[in-house]
Amino acid sequence: MSTRVLIPSGVLGLGFSDEALHNGIKARPDIIAIDGGSTDSGPWYLGTGNSKYSQAVCRAEWRKLMEARAELGVPLIIGSCGTCGVDDMVDWMAEITREIATEFGQSLKIAKIYSSQPHAFIVERLNSGNWRALEPELPIAVNDIESASNIVALAGVEQIQQALLAGADIVLAGRATDTASIAALPIANGENIAAAWHGAKITECGALCSTHPTSGVVLLDVDHTGFTVTPMAADAHCTPHTVSAHMLYENADPFHLHEPGGTLDVTNAHYEAIDQKSVRVTGSRWITDDTYTVKLEAARSAGYQTTLLALLRERRYVENARQWIERLHAFLTTLISERLAMEPVSYDLDFRLIGMSATLGAQERRDTIPTEVGVLLTVTAQSAEQSMEIARLCNPHMLHFPLTDHEELPTFAFPFSPVETARGELYEFFINHVITLDNPMQAFRLETETINATG
């Protein structure tokens, strides 16, 4: 026996080849699984509970996948709805799903898995010792948990299997591990557990494990002894190198992957080309944990930001840009204290020299004089109003500040009016822990709803 999973792309919203999807449908998969989330774009998405990808793009792609699902009569799963996987983003995908179902006249059973965590539950886990820090260890107190604007737990295969058991045509999962939605059905069907997780890890970024990454669509066959991965675009190939190299990607440890309930060990995995397109993988191991743990992600506010950008082109200022921002920083600090009665403990001015060292900062080793320099000033303060007030105070000095006291005032290039751009709230990740659950559903909620096509 074998279970066939079609993975259309690494994430909903990134795109896939229609032709490759068509080839994937012809291969008659048992399930279609796609991921919707990531922390890779930073803490703002979790902090505010927003999607990185446009709703119109997600809808257009989801429409194609719902069409494919109806044609095949198999379940369709998305994990980590709306980038961050908070409850609101599950509802966001549910709304898109209802609209498309109505348009197509599809009758459906939808299962929604909610991953958002009430503060009280996380505090209870912490107080009862059902909580463990991961490396690097971040110091966390009970008060810190209260400061989170959103906390999610990453679901594994067990929660998705519950949704499939409920007879769902479409599963909309909140935050889940990238691999869980792919591994869930093969494991439920009794295939090799290690092969299911390993195959899921290889295919979770779609065709990134092939020679044609942007084609998106890959097919995963998991059986009792291993798995086979095949890209669906006509001109894409998987080789033992492209497949095994994917274990390096975004993994601190390329041989071990921690998942809810256990650890995948691929140290002795064997990768073999079985034809021009497909790679067969055997020899991975699954080590079951004694307790069932799920990882947490949390974000909280870290102030409000406003940015200003000035361009220096005049040679003398470009050559002396570092001294200029040092002098300007000192001047502004005094002025903010005098005029706004604020001291640096309550706000932050951050100057970056674009064209010189904006990317690497103090680590930059190259020291050449560029044609021009962009001076990006980021103001961070405790409220949006304070941040904007400080930025407005800085504005005329970013425009006219001289290198020395006794010289005519220069005027630099401002590309925008107003020069201040409110960036809104800054968020930070601040939890790097797992919690132990009494049972896999303890931190998750499963709801089902039926959509009846009318007419």
Partner 1 sequence: MQLGKLAERVRSKNAGPFWISIDVFCGDQQRFDTIVKALSSDTVAAIYKVEAVNLLRFEIPSLNVLKFSFPRPVMQGSKEDRDMHGAQWSVLLAETELP
317 close to 403: Cβ distance less than 8 angstroms: yes
Q: Select from 38-46, 83-91, 185-193, 447-455 the region that touches partner 1 (CB under 8 A).
A: 38-46
When binding is defined by CB under 8 A, the residue of 63, 67, 254, 301 that contacts partner 1 is: 254
Residue where the block lists tokens 């005049």: 314
Q: How far apart are CA 15 and CA 8, in angstroms?
A: 9
- What pairs with residue 170 in β-bridges? 76, 110
Residues sharing a CB contact under 8 Å with residue 211, sequence separation 6 or more, in sequence order: 231, 236, 237, 238, 239, 242
Closest CA to 385 of 335, 443, 354, 342: 342
Q: Dihedral (C-alpha) 334, 335, 336, 338: value to the nearest 10 degrees?
A: 90
Q: Give the torsion through C-alpha atoms of 447, 448, 453, 454, to 10 deg.
A: -70
- Selected from 103, 250, 272, 314, the binder of partner 1 by CB under 8 A is 250
Contact between 331 and partner 1 per CB under 8 A: no
Instruction: Encode burial over 263-275: b for 16+ CB neighbours within 10 A, e otherwise.
Output: bbbbeebebeeee
Please report, as a single letter, which amino acid is at residue 290: D
Residue type, 140: I
Choose, by CB under 8 A, the member of 143, 334, 363, 417 that binds partner 1: 363
**Which lies closer to partner 1 via its Cβ, residue 56 or residue 138?**
138
What is the smallest separation between the CB atom of 116 and partner 1, expressed in angstroms?
Answer: 18
Does 3 bind partner 1 (CB under 8 A)? Our answer is no
Q: Does 136 bind partner 1 (CB under 8 A)?
A: yes
- What does the per-residue mask of binding to partner 1 show for 282-321, with x meaning CB under 8 A? ---------------x----xx-x----------------
423 vs 371: CA distance, rounded Å: 28
245 binds partner 1 (CB under 8 A): yes
Q: Which stretch binds partner 1 (CB under 8 A): 213-221, 244-252, 391-399, 442-450?
A: 244-252
Min separation Cβ 351 and partner 1, Å: 12
Among 426, 412, 427, 425, CA closest to 308: 412
Residue with tokens 């870290």, as numbered in its chain: 302
Residue 244 found at the interface with partner 1 (CB under 8 A): yes
Contact 358, 352 (CB under 8 A): yes
Determine, following the binding rule CB under 8 A, whether residue 406 of this chain makes contact with partner 1. no
The minimum distance between CB 39 and partner 1, in angstroms, equals 5
Interaction of residue 433 with partner 1, rule CB under 8 A = no
Contact, 430 vs 298, CB < 8 A?
A: yes
- CA distances in angstroms from 344 to 212, 336, 347, 380, 401, listed in the order given: 50, 9, 5, 10, 20
Candidate segments 57-65, 204-212, 240-248, 314-322, binder of partner 1 by CB under 8 A: 240-248
Residue 323: phi and psi, rounded to 5, are: -65, -40
Cβ pair 135, 252 in contact under 8 A:
no
Two tokens, residue 226: 């291993």
Binding to partner 1 by residue 421, rule CB under 8 A? no
Cβ 135 to partner 1 shortest distance, Å: 7
> Does 350 contact partner 1 by CB under 8 A?
yes
Question: Using CB under 8 A, which of the segments 66-74, 202-210, 356-364, 394-402 binds partner 1?
Answer: 356-364
State in angstroms the smallest separation of the CB of 253 from partner 1: 7
Out of 30, 144, 289, 348, the only residue in the binding site for partner 1 (CB under 8 A) is 348
Stretch that binds partner 1, among 109-117, 224-232, 361-369, 407-415 (CB under 8 A): 361-369
> At residue 219, what are phi and psi to the nearest 5 degrees?
-115, 135
Shortest distance, CB of residue 350 to partner 1, whole angstroms? Answer: 7
CB of 52 to partner 1, least distance (A): 11
**Minimum gap (Å) between residue 244 Cβ and partner 1:** 6
Stretch that binds partner 1, among 182-190, 196-204, 237-245, 383-391 (CB under 8 A): 237-245
C-alpha 132: how far from its chain's center? 23
Minimum separation from the CB atom of position 304 to partner 1 (A):
11
Out of 2, 41, 54, 268, the only residue in the binding site for partner 1 (CB under 8 A) is: 41
CA distance 300 to 184: 31
Specify the DSSP class assigned to residue 360: T
Pair of tokens at residue 128 = 């009862």
CA 126, 132, 138 angle in degrees (round to 5)?
90
Of the candidate spans 27-35, 119-127, 218-226, 246-254, the one that interacts with partner 1 by CB under 8 A turns out to be 246-254
Task: Please work out the total of residues on this chain that contact partner 1, with binding judged by CB under 8 A.
Answer: 41
Min dist CB 149 to partner 1, Å, is 14
Q: Of these, 40, 103, 124, 449, which contacts partner 1 (CB under 8 A)?
A: 40
Q: Which residues pair with 379 in a beta bridge?
A: 306, 349
> Which positions lie near partner 1, rule CB under 8 A?
39-44, 135-136, 138, 241, 244-245, 248-255, 297, 302-303, 305, 348, 350, 352, 358-361, 363, 365-366, 378, 380, 426-429, 432
